Each structure stands twice: as structure tokens, then as C-alpha cells.
A and B are shown apart, each in its own frame.
Chain A
């Protein structure tokens, strides 16, 4: 129900961020986030950053899968 795209914060001025993904830039409000910083990846929905993307959690999810692949699919998911 809710389209949102991961974008990187490129600039911040007064609660507004310029966010970027693959060469496309769009302004977004940071009203819903605590302490967002340039370089953070955030999820943009309707011109608002609705959540920060947690790089460790992202890596953790993928790591589980990679382990399975490396084991030739033999490890139980």
C-alpha cells in the first residue's frame, strides 16, 4: 500500500534533505526522524523520510542467505 524508496541523504538544510538514488534527487522532509545525517540511507514516502535503514540489520538478513548459498543450499533456512 505504500510505495517507498531507499535514498541517501546528500544534503540537509533546516529539516529538509536532498535525497538521492541512482542519480535522481528529490527533496524530502526529515520531520519523522531523530538525528538524520548526511550519508544515511532513509526510506522516502510521499516526500517524507519515514525511517532510517539499518545497515547492520540489512547485512544480517543477507548474510543468512549467503551462508545457505555457500553451503550449496544444504543449510536449513
Chain B
């Protein structure tokens, strides 16, 4: 794969591992680097990157898996739509196993609900076009990478004049929770591995407040092993030197100002709102809601459903894990009550969730 394979070169990776080791020579503390993107979490496990790093460098996972940070109420709403007559729930595969208070979409599907997994929200639009008498509710989750694809799909729905396509909207936006975590006194993050594809949309300049006002080094990096290691190395160098600035290792994709056209779509369809992060709580201006003129596509107001009362599982430490305060192995449910087959917390259910990745690749 062009633009992927080159960045998997073992020779380059080894050189970077050696460089990181050189960079921390004489650094006798421990530095904590947080990746806030679930795909980074996956990549770290998948390539065994932790096993290559010196003891002074600790990697922890932050709240960057959209499935994991989606509140349980949202899953309960999705379940309610799945139970609604003459309704198709269309979703990315990621959401299908997420546990709600008493059920999940896979279970509802088994009981007869019409739940369809799509690769693109445009596929869901096509389903709506083919089934004009059925309401299609698309589960709009994801960060700034994914939100414009839902925004773009709504523009397409408008263009095609469809009146049976709705979005259950729970989009989140990125720098806000990173700043929120920074002000948590219990949590000490020495550097952020900034999300790659979110940054393609919002641009690497979005992290400048983190570096400039909060003094935390930020590096935007890609997902291939060489990208990952280079990103970690750049962070290590900043931490050792006591510097804090935004660097971009992923310049083949990410520009300082991001993708303006995608930002225009976002601004046209959505507006910022306060958002609830599972396990973390409400963070001001960290979510996206449909603008007034697109409210007709808002499933919650256009197709009201009754939703059961939310019940979180006791003992689940997902919230602490999402904040990077504890590791999956420190959760009493991990590998015991909570496994990928029977996930209790959201971090286990999403394949890119910290617990799932630890279970699958951690050993």
C-alpha cells in the first residue's frame, strides 16, 4: 500500500527506537505520554510498540474512542429506535455491540429489529432512498474526522429531497477534553500524541493553546509504526528539553490550518454544544449539534421515542481508564466479568477501546 508500507520499514523503526533510547539517556524521571486517539491505541498494541520503549517512557490511552465516550443514554436511545416500528437503524459496525442499560443493537437485531451496518453514511442515505416508507436513523458518532461525513450526507439528503433520513447525533470534538484532562490535578500528562485524522480536518494549529497556554508538548502523528515512533521520539525530545510546542510528523496529510472545506461543511450543518463524555462528565463546547435549519433531521426531535432509564454497571472503571488514571489490568472486572464477548464497559466493547486492545494484544 503506497503511503503506508514505506512507514512500516523495520530498518527505520529500529533507527527510531535507538534514537528514543539515546534521547532519554540521563533522564532519570518518568514521562507520561497520552495518545487520545483509539486508532493510536490500537497501533501501539498491534505493533508491540510499548515493548520497544525505554522504561522512562510510559504510554497511556486517553478518551479518543468515540464509541467509548458515548454516554449510555445514547445507546439506550439507539436501542429505542431499533425497537420502533418501520424503522431501520443504520450504523458503523463499531456501535453494534456497545452495551446500553439493558440491551444492545446486536441483541435487538436478533430479536427482529432492522439494524444495518454500513461503511459510509452515504450507504445509509441509499438505504433511505430505497425504503421511502421507512424511517432510517443513522447513528452519528465520531469526532471531527467523521462528523463532516455525516454533515455531507445530510447535504446529500437535502439535495435528493428525502424526508425519511434522520441522525441520532452525538458527535464530539477534540481539543476540549485534552484541555479538560490537563486541568485535572490527579493526572499528569507530559505530552500529547495528537490524533492523526481529526487533525487532518481541524489542523495542527488547534493544539497550540495546549502547548502555549498549558505548556504541554503536542505532536501530531500518523498511525503506521514509523509515524508512531517518530511522534513519540519528537515528544520525548521536547519533554527532555523542557520545551512545549506543536509539531507535526504527519505533514503528508495534516496542514496547520486543516481541511477548510470539511470545516465549512461542519460549520454549515453543526454548531458547538456542551457534551456528555462517558466516564468523564460534561465538557463545555466539546460536542456538535445540528443547527436550527437541520433540526428536521434530528431523530430525537423529529421521531421522539421513549427511552429507558440509564443504568451504569457498578464497578466499571471505564471513566478512570478513559482519563488515563488507571490501566485496564487495574480494573477488577477486566478479563473476569468484562471480556470482549461479554463487555461491561465501553472500553472493552469497541475494538479500539483501551481494554479491548489490552485484552487482544496486551498479553
Q: Do A and B bind each other?
A: yes
Task: Give the B-binding residues of A (Cβ under 8 A).
Answer: 1-6, 8, 21-22, 26, 28-29, 31-34, 41, 43, 45-48, 50-51, 53-55, 57-58, 60-62, 65, 68-69, 73, 76-77
- Chain B residues near A29 (CB, 8 Å)? 120, 122, 149, 152, 156
Can you give 7 A-B contacts (C-beta < 8 A)? A1-B143, A4-B145, A28-B120, A31-B152, A48-B152, A53-B253, A69-B15
6 interchain residue pairs of minimum CB distance: A47-B120, A2-B145, A58-B252, A2-B197, A6-B3, A57-B251
> Does B101 sit at the interface, judged by CB under 8 A?
no
> Does B261 sit at the interface, judged by CB under 8 A?
yes
B117: shortest Cβ distance to chain A, in Å? 12
Please tell me the number of chain B residues within 8 Å of chain A, measured between CB atoms: 53
A65: shortest Cβ distance to chain B, in Å? 5
- Chain B residues near A2 (CB, 8 Å)? 37, 39, 142-143, 145-146, 195-198
Q: A46-B119, A69-B12 are in contact. Are A51 and B253 (CB under 8 A)?
A: yes
- Chain B residues near A33 (CB, 8 Å)? 259, 261
- Chain A residues near B148 (CB, 8 Å)? 32, 48, 50
A46 touches B253 (CB 8 A): no
A51 touches B200 (CB 8 A): yes
- Looking at B66, B155, B252, the one whose CB has the most chain A CB atoms below 10 A away is B252
B261 touches A32 (CB 8 A): yes
Q: A6-B3, A47-B119, A51-B253 are in contact. Are A1 and B155 (CB under 8 A)?
A: no
B18 touches A73 (CB 8 A): yes
Q: How far is the CA of A34 from the CA of B259 in the complex (A)?
A: 10
B2 touches A6 (CB 8 A): yes
Q: How far is the CA of A23 from the CA of B123 in the complex (A)?
A: 21
Task: Give the A-binding residues of B (Cβ under 8 A).
Answer: 1-4, 6-7, 9, 11-12, 15-16, 18-19, 37-39, 64-66, 92, 119-123, 142-143, 145-146, 148-149, 152, 155-156, 195-198, 200-201, 226, 230, 233, 249, 251-254, 259, 261-262, 265, 352
B197 touches A1 (CB 8 A): yes
A1 touches B1 (CB 8 A): no
A50 touches B259 (CB 8 A): yes
A21 touches B251 (CB 8 A): no
Q: How far is the CA of A55 from the CA of B2 in the complex (A)?
A: 11
A53 touches B3 (CB 8 A): yes
- Chain B residues near A47 (CB, 8 Å)? 119-123, 149
- Chain A residues near B18 (CB, 8 Å)? 73
| B11 CB contact (under 8 Å) in A41, A48, A69 | A69
